[in-house]
Amino acid sequence: MSFEEFQFHPHIIAGIEACGYTSPTPIQREAMPPILAGRDILGLAQTGTGKTAAFVLPLLQRLQAGPRKKVRALIVAPTRELAEQIHENISTMAGHTRLRSVVVYGGVGKPGQIKKIREGAEIIVACPGRLLDHLNDKAINLREVEVLVLDEADHMFDKGFLPDIRRIMKHLPNQRQNLVFSATMPTEIRHLAEEILNNPAVVQINHTQAVTTISHVLFQVTKENKTAMLKSIMAQEETTTTLIFTKTKHKAKSLALHLEKSGHSATSLQGNLSQQKRQQALDGFKNGTFKVLVATDIAARGIDVSGISHVINYDVPDTVEAYTHRTGRTGRATRTGEALTLASREDGSMIQSIERTLGKKMIRRNVTGFVAEACDLEEPLKARGERPIRKKSAPAGPGRNKRTRASSFDFGIPVPAQRR
């Protein structure tokens, strides 16, 4: 299938070409026809599937006809990074249309944003808090909005933005097209979708469809050896642009400093940074000044850096959704990528859940200088009162611990010099 079938305006086709897209991704194939027909949409898809173009291209097609220099589309996103990324995508896709988008979020001055809108933008991409500020100041008029897009609605909920969203909607006309995108569907989002959407077309793109170009690799390691193993992996694998995830802000910062001291061009992105520092870290990562970015889940939301070769889970995420969000940042659309996960004993049950969602086992890999010492999943299962699945034991061999069980979940530990 090609983009021609959607009969986009030639100016929009020029934008698609500028992006380098030759054929639509699954979400684009499924979501664009109902959006072009003016229907409401509930899109269940994660970042990395091409969902931005799935709503932006039909939106541009609609705005291409009709009045200019008034705000006709509002896109709400939970983070500045995502808002900035959507705005940048629109700028490229709309490059030949003379349609203009303005991005609105906190942490930067208000007057510049208002000025740009008053100069005649048709699209506003906004984070909820700052948008409400402008609405309360009566600085923005949304009465002519024809299309509302809520992107990453599940993260809006995570961040406590749903009351703000409901307040924002009071400023919109009742008659409009509504597009809601979310990777997951917690009850609160289901309720919100029911409130907002009118007879929506539901488009669902599976996690596995989104990540087909990614290899998922597991390294089993004791907690104490994670940093040593990470450095060995980075020395051995051909990592170019690497995004590393940690559980805490503190760890993101200290790990980036540690990697920097070991000769990597690394920086961190975590909640404690000022807007200016965040932007510096992101820009540096995008333009290649930093090859390694260490981030927490929250800080990394919405990062769109093309060509990320490796996503490394230094810490296993708390949920399967977080895993798919993290790893969706590599292997995007047409590229391939590697998602490497360092897991230790207590991560056993989460790894099982991730593998269930992926529908396959992660590839087990080890690092030279570390031997696999086995462990298994019995403990977490027993603790929950479940029966472990037993497999035949492998014979204990040199370098293997006698307590080993074959199905098990191995740890990599460095081989002490005297045992080598």
Residues that bind ligand AMP (CB under 6 A): 21, 24-25, 28, 47-53, 304, 306, 332-334
Query: Is the Cβ of residue 32 or residue 256 nearer to ligand AMP in the bound state?
Result: 32
Query: Is the Cβ of residue 92 or residue 254 nearer to ligand AMP in the bound state?
Result: 92
Nearest residue to 201 (alpha-carbon basis) of 230, 216, 181, 219: 181
For helices 80-93 and 10-19, the axis angle rounded to 10 degrees is 120
Query: Is the Cβ of residue 53 or residue 221 nearer to ligand AMP in the bound state?
Result: 53
Helices marked H in 262-295 — which ranges? 275-286
DSSP readout, 70-120? S--EEEE-SSHHHHHHHHHHHHHHTTTTT--EEEE-TTS-HHHHHHHHHTT
Query: Is the Cβ of residue 228 or residue 333 nearer to ligand AMP in the bound state?
Result: 333
Q: How far apart are CB 194 and ligand AMP at their closest, in Å?
A: 25
The Cα 401–Cα 70 span in angstroms is 70
Q: How far apart are CB 18 and ligand AMP at their closest, in Å?
A: 11
Q: How far apart are CB 157 and ligand AMP at their closest, in Å?
A: 19
Q: How far apart are CB 49 and ligand AMP at their closest, in Å?
A: 5
Long-range Cβ contacts of 128-134 (<8 Å, 24+ apart): 128/76, 128/78, 128/156, 128/161, 128/164, 128/165, 128/168, 129/105, 129/161, 129/164, 130/104, 130/105, 130/106, 131/76, 131/104, 131/168, 132/164, 132/167, 132/168, 133/106, 134/104, 134/110
CA-based radius of gyration for the chain: 23
Query: Is the Cβ of residue 264 or residue 326 nearer to ligand AMP in the bound state?
Result: 326
Query: Is the Cβ of residue 95 or residue 388 nearer to ligand AMP in the bound state?
Result: 95
Q: How far apart are CB 201 and ligand AMP at their closest, in Å?
A: 19
Q: How far apart are CB 332 and ligand AMP at their closest, in Å?
A: 4
